[in-house]
Amino acid sequence: MQNIIDVKNLSFSYPDGTVVFKNIDLTVSDGESVGIIGPNGAGKSTLLMLLDGLIDTHNGQIIISGMPMNKKHIPGIREKIGFLFQDPDDQIFMPTVFDNVAFGLANKNISEEDIKEKVTRILNYIGLPNHEKRLANHLSFGQRKLVSLASVLVMEPDIFLLDEPTSNLDRRERRIIIEFISKLEGQAKIIISHDYDALQQLCSKIIIMGDNQILYSGDKKVLSDDAFLNKCKL
Amino acid sequence: MHHSFWDKHSHINSIIHRLDCRVKIIVFTLLLLAIVTTPGQDLIRFLLFGTVIMLIIFLSRLPLIYVLKRSLIVIPFVLLIAFFIIFFNGTEVVSSFNIGRFKINVYREGLLVFQNVLCKSWLSVLCLLILAESTEFNYLLKGLEKLRFPRIMILVISFFYRYVFILIDQLDRMRHAVESRGFKAKLARRIKILGSMIGWLFISTYDRAERVYMAMLSRGFTGHIHSFRKFKIGQTDIIFSLVLLSLILYIRIGVF
Ligand SMILES: Nc1ncnc2c1ncn2[C@@H]1O[C@H](COP(=O)(O)OP(=O)(O)OP(=O)(O)O)[C@@H](O)[C@H]1O
Ligand SMILES: [Mg+2]
């Protein structure tokens, strides 16, 4: 299998001097599903932003789908990647549900009819039928999370970067989201989560981040190894 | 986000809403120009412009009370800027009174400036409000783009629109956080705390605005505005603009 995400020797610090990680390596192969766990502030969200080319200064090598991360390839890389942000309020920036879900499609110059059809289909699919005209700011947190997910799913990306997809959801919404993610079988996924049960269901590989590095990378059996998790401050 | 977007009435179906937005932008700009170039003492003209604006609000089926309420946000600024002119600017005293040992004069010229600023700013804000409230935001931006408005200005407006709400949202969160912790303090401490809160507000808004921008980029945003509404100038657009423009012209230069 080919590596769709290939990260070598990646180091990153925020401009204010906060060192996030040093010399980390990471590979994800086509169709593989990787879970990332780690204590708060370990740099999990930062890693995903780097993979989507949203933070542009770093040391090391990032190759997505054969394209090295640089100015020339960033638009192409972003087209391959669907990024669900940790906080849906960062991702919802248009008045209506329709506008939010259609935003990415409109940027791709797809025809109006196709966009309408795709948005309607995806909203039905995630269980928010006839919500097109609703104001996004009137939705509950879980519904906003679903809308964010819809706006990512609708782009049909090859790679999903999902930052805490199940946090703050009620039992039913959580189950719905897990179900959608598990149906994405052909695509590669990186899922950040503190929800070990979800990772157990969704991932084949687990990566543990902490102390500015990758502490573990391997089988998901680690999720039930309490002694090791404690050692990783989890 | 729990606040409302400013074009929340843009889905009403009215003649004003249905107008091609290029026509709307041009007509409203001319109305605005006519208002700001009207000499300050011409109260009748201001009154007539006010009537035209009321008529447009009526036609647009926007809730009148809502529009009027929102238009009042300018009043504090006007007061701040122009109120004191009443007491300092001019030679002809209309009335005077004493505060303690000080004699305060109210000047005629000052009053005129005040009236001028008040009428113009209030009517202008009403115009802009109707335009913004009756036009879907993206359609408005696309209209500006079609009218060859500088691209950088359009982007600034579009980000302003998004970020203002983030600012309000952030302010709300902060207020709740503060209130939930039972904020009580002496005035001096209060002011100090308020100062650092405002600092925090700007930093946190900046960070969120950046993340929102990232979310836009990650979905392929390249700086182009997309709107699904069609641009088509029809009969209604022509008749509406002709009627309104002649009315505006008459009010502006007619003899009363
Ligand atoms: N814009 C920024 N400027 C400076 N430091 C930052 C910035 N954003 C994050 N950090 C710091 O970088 C580190 C990693 O943050 P990140 O958000 O990636 O952590 P995380 O693993 O996603 O945490 P969580 O589980 O809480 O979401 C933290 O120490 C954080 O304080
Ligand atoms: Mg995070």
- 């009363």: which residue's tokens? B256
Report pLDDT digits (tens) over B47-66: 999 999 999 999 999 999 99
- From atom 16 of ligand 1, which residue's Cα is the shortest distance away? A43
Same-domain pairing of B143 and B78: yes
Is residue A4 pLDDT above 70, yes or no?
yes
DSSP string, A185-227: -SSEEEEE-S-HHHHHHH-SEEEEEETTEEEEEEEGGGGG-HH
Same-domain pairing of B178 and B92: no
- 């009321």: which residue's tokens? B54
Does B6 reside within a domain?
no
pTM higher than 0.95 for the full model? Answer: no
Ligand 1 atom nearest the C-alpha of B210 is: 1
Report CA(A19)–ligand 1 centroid distance (Å). Answer: 10
Is residue B166 pLDDT above 50, yes or no?
yes
Ligand 1 neighbour A21 (Cβ under 6 A): no
Same-domain pairing of B235 and B110: yes
pLDDT > 90: percent of chain B = 41
Report CA(A66)–ligand 2 centroid distance (Å). Answer: 26
Parallel, antiparallel, or unpaired for β A3-13 and A19-29?
A: antiparallel
* Chain A residues in contact with B7 (beta carbon < 8 A): 95
Same-domain pairing of B200 and B241: no
Is residue B33 pLDDT above 70, yes or no?
yes
Lowest mean pLDDT among A66-80, B30-44, B85-99, B129-143: B85-99
Q: Which pLDDT value is given to residue B4? A: 57
Is residue B115 pLDDT above 80, yes or no?
yes
Report pLDDT digits (tens) over A91-148: 988 878 998 999 999 888 788 899 999 999 999 998 899 999 888 878 888 899 999 9
Ligand 1 atom nearest the C-alpha of A86 is: 27
Mean pLDDT of chain A: 92
Q: Which pLDDT value is given to residue A58? A: 84
Instruction: pLDDT band for A191, please (50, 70, 90 cuts).
Output: very high
| Maximum Cα–Cα distance across chain A | 55
Nearest in space to A103 (alpha carbons), one of B144, B229, B221, B159: B221
Provide the number of structural domains found in chain B.
2
Rounded (5°) CA angle B223-B227-B229: 160
Task: Please compute the mean of the pLDDT values over residues A12-18 and round it to a whole number.
Answer: 93
Same-domain pairing of B119 and B245: yes
Same-domain pairing of B140 and B185: no
* Chain A residues in contact with B137 (beta carbon < 8 A): 95
Is residue B224 pLDDT above 70, yes or no?
yes
Model ipTM value: 0.86
Is residue B126 pLDDT above 60, yes or no?
yes
Same-domain pairing of B40 and B123: yes
Is residue B231 pLDDT above 70, yes or no?
yes
The CATH number of whichever domain residue A26 belongs to comes to: 3.40.50.300
Map residue B136 onto helix, strand or coil: coil
> Are A208 and A24 spatial neighbours (Cβ–Cβ below 8 Å)?
no
Same-domain pairing of B39 and B97: yes
Q: Which pLDDT value is given to residue B6? A: 64
Between B185 and B232, whose confidence is greater? Answer: B232
Same-domain pairing of B32 and B125: yes
Alpha-carbon distances, residue A233 vs A215, A222, B176 (angstroms): 11, 14, 32
Amino acid at B76: P
Does B243 reside within a domain?
yes
Q: How many CA atoms lie within 13 A of B248 on its CB side?
A: 21
Does B1 reside within a domain?
no
Does B225 reside within a domain?
no
Provide the number of structural domains found in chain A.
1
What does the alpha-carbon distance between residue B180 and residue A18 come to, in Å, rounded to a whole number?
Answer: 31
Report CA(A46)–ligand 1 centroid distance (Å). Answer: 6
Alpha-carbon distances, residue B230 vs A224, B130, B239, B249 (angstroms): 57, 20, 19, 29
Q: Which pLDDT value is given to residue B1? A: 46
Q: Which residues does A162 contact at the CB level (< 8 Å), separation at least 6?
A: A84, A181, A189, A190, A191, A192, A193
Q: Which pLDDT value is given to residue A1? A: 57
Q: Which pLDDT value is given to residue A193? A: 96
Is residue A225 pLDDT above 90, yes or no?
yes
* Chain B residues in contact with A75 (beta carbon < 8 A): 220, 222
Residue of A14, A89, A135, A147 to mutate for B, most B C-beta atoms under 10 A: A89
Is residue A55 pLDDT above 50, yes or no?
yes
Task: Please compute the mean of the pLDDT values over residues A181-198 and round it to a whole number.
Answer: 94
Which residue segment(s) compose the domain that A92 sits in? Answer: 3-231
Same-domain pairing of B74 and B117: yes
For A194, phi and psi rounded to 5 degrees? -100, 5
What is the distance in angstroms between the CA of the first residue and the CA of the last residue of chain B? 50
pLDDT > 70: percent of chain B = 96
Q: Tally C-beta pairs within 8 A across A and B.
A: 70
- From atom 4 of ligand 1, which residue's Cα is the shortest distance away? A14
Which residue segment(s) compose the domain that B65 sits in? Answer: 15-147+230-253
Quickly list H helices, B61-181: 64-71, 74-82, 85-88, 108-133, 137-146, 151-180
Using a 10 angstrom Cβ sphere, with 0-12 exposed, 13-18 middle and 19 or more buried, the burial of residue B196 is exposed
Does B203 reside within a domain?
yes
- From atom 3 of ligand 1, which residue's Cα is the shortest distance away? A14
Does B3 reside within a domain?
no
> Are A49 and A81 spatial neighbours (Cβ–Cβ below 8 Å)?
no
> Are B16 and B130 spatial neighbours (Cβ–Cβ below 8 Å)?
yes
Instruction: pLDDT band for B2, please (50, 70, 90 cuts).
Output: very low
- Residue A228 burial (CB count, 10 A): 15
Does residue A115 belong to the interface with chain B, where contact is any CB pair within 8 Å?
Answer: yes
Q: Which pLDDT value is given to residue B246? A: 95
The answer to whether the Cβ–Cβ distance between B219 and A137 falls below 8 Å is no
Q: Which residues are A11's β-sheet partners?
A: A59
Instruction: pLDDT band for B5, please (50, 70, 90 cuts).
Output: low
Does B86 reside within a domain?
yes
DSSP string, B92-110: -EEEEEEETTEEEEEEHHH
For A99, the token pair is 């506008």
Alpha-carbon distances, residue B174 vs A194, B163, B181, B255 (angstroms): 27, 16, 11, 54
Lowest mean pLDDT among A14-28, A165-179, B175-189: B175-189
Same-domain pairing of B73 and B172: no
Is residue A159 pLDDT above 60, yes or no?
yes
Does B8 reside within a domain?
no
For B137, the token pair is 């935001």
> Are A169 and A140 spatial neighbours (Cβ–Cβ below 8 Å)?
no
What does the alpha-carbon distance between residue B2 and residue A135 come to, in Å, rounded to a whole number?
Answer: 10
Same-domain pairing of B242 and B120: yes
The answer to whether the Cβ–Cβ distance between B211 and A93 falls below 8 Å is no
For A96, the token pair is 């209506």
The answer to whether the Cβ–Cβ distance between A104 and B220 falls below 8 Å is yes
Does residue A108 belong to the interface with chain B, where contact is any CB pair within 8 Å?
Answer: yes
What does the alpha-carbon distance between residue B192 and residue B180 come to, in Å, rounded to a whole number?
Answer: 19
